[in-house]
Amino acid sequence: MTLEELKTWLDENMPGSYRENEHMKAHTSFRIGGPADLLLIPADVDGLEKVVAKVRQEGLPLTVIGNGSNILVRDKGIRGVVLKIGNALKSMVCEGDRLIAEAGVSLAAVANKAAACGLTGLEFAVGIPGSIGGAVYMNAGAYDGEMEKVVRSVTVITSEGHRTVLAKAEMDFGYRHSCIQENGAIIVNVELQLAKGKQQDIQCKMDDFTNRRIQKQPLDVPNAGSMFRRPCGYFAGTLIEEAGLKGYRVGGAQVSVKHAGFVVNSGNATAEDVLRLIGDVRRIVYERSGVMLEPEVRIFGE
């Protein structure tokens, strides 16, 4: 099947669900990225399941994104189909001390819902700008928390197209790692195990974390969070700063002057600018400290 044939199938089966040649800079927090051949935003889990089955059955390339807050899309864009979960699958509910959310709900909304229900455990997530699906995929974490600590089970569509529930023990969580990074499944629903807490304490902790972010992170300029994984025994930002690279620039890409662990798009940066800057930073930090930084941000496209 060609993309043209897929479009005809979508027009018949899921009208209005896709956009052609959609610039990914509109769908990433970095505000960088060339066009996706077809950007698909499924309305619900059934629609998602149906379209994934079709795309996989026809052997078309498929890329999944959540809210686009941890990705760099190259300048020539993404061939095939990009499935954006972050704008759909938005329902969530508290049941006792559990919270169940569809993959597209923003992490901030889930954290706020938990607070409103008097549930503690998710305060760390309030300022992480991704979807809960992306957060589970990345095992996102901050301050005293990590998704691993609160996930009870995850419903996925497997690479064979079946809907199945994975218990936490099957998720193989590690530092910014989950088994989904290897098995190609798509997260559709997440069940969190939280604990009863005092609403005022929960809110207080969330406000503290939010203030710390405002003080330390370049939240007023497009970026994709920490560019590099934390190397064992070091902090990437400190190594970069010690190498004299705070503020270092390639084209429109710049090592943040506020937090050297972040690379920002200071205006019309291309993916090429960011990739060249990453290459320079890795080389210079390695020469100075002997530590090779590894990107945390996921890189897609041509």
Ligand X SMILES: Cc1cc2nc3c(=O)[nH]c(=O)nc-3n(C[C@H](O)[C@H](O)[C@H](O)COP(=O)(O)OP(=O)(O)OC[C@H]3O[C@@H](n4cnc5c(N)ncnc54)[C@H](O)[C@@H]3O)c2cc1C
Q: Which residues of the chain form contacts with ligand X (CB under 6 A)? A: 29, 64-71, 85-86, 103, 128-131, 133-135, 137-138, 140-142, 180, 186-187, 217, 219, 223-225, 298
H or E element at residue 49: helix 45-57
User: Is 179 or 284 the residue whose CB approaches ligand X more closely?
Assistant: 179
**Taking the alpha carbons of 232, 237, 238, 241 in that order, is the dihedral positive or negative?**
positive
Map tokens 């078309």 to a residue: 60
Residue 128: how many CA atoms within 13 Å on its side-chain side?
Answer: 27
31 in catalytic set: no
Q: Which of 22, 123, 241, 296 is catalytic?
A: 296
User: Is 32 or 138 the residue whose CB approaches ligand X more closely?
Assistant: 138
H or E element at residue 7: helix 3-13
Amino acid at 144: D
Q: How far is the CB of 268 from ligand X (least distance, A)?
A: 18
296 in catalytic set: yes
Q: How far is the CB of 287 from ligand X (least distance, A)?
A: 28
User: Is 148 or 273 the residue whose CB approaches ligand X more closely?
Assistant: 148
Q: Given the DSSP bridges, would you call strands 78-84 and 119-120 parallel, antiparallel or unpaired?
A: unpaired
- CB burial string 119-154: b at 16+ within 10 A, e below: bbbbbbbbbbbbbbbbbbbbbbbbeebbbbbbbebb
User: Is 77 or 86 the residue whose CB approaches ligand X more closely?
Assistant: 86
The pair phi, psi for residue 43, each rounded to 5°, is -80, -30
User: Is 187 or 239 the residue whose CB approaches ligand X more closely?
Assistant: 187
Q: How far is the CB of 176 from ligand X (least distance, A)?
A: 6
CB 293 within 8 A of CB 228: yes
Q: Which of 153, 226, 256, 266 is catalytic?
A: 226
3 state DSSP class of 194: coil
What is the SS3 string spanning 212-281?
Answer: HHHHHCCCCCCEEEECECCCCCCCHHHHHHHCCCCCCEECCEEECCCCCCEEEECCCCCHHHHHHHHHHH
The pair phi, psi for residue 101, each rounded to 5°, is -135, 145
Q: Which of 176, 178, 191, 241 is catalytic?
A: 176
Q: How far is the CB of 277 from ligand X (least distance, A)?
A: 17
User: Is 96 or 174 the residue whose CB approaches ligand X more closely?
Assistant: 174
The residue among 38, 48, 61 whose CA lies nearest residue 14 is 48
Q: How far is the CB of 136 from ligand X (least distance, A)?
A: 8
152 in catalytic set: no
Q: How far is the CB of 234 from ligand X (least distance, A)?
A: 17
Which residues have a catalytic role annotated? Answer: 176, 226, 296
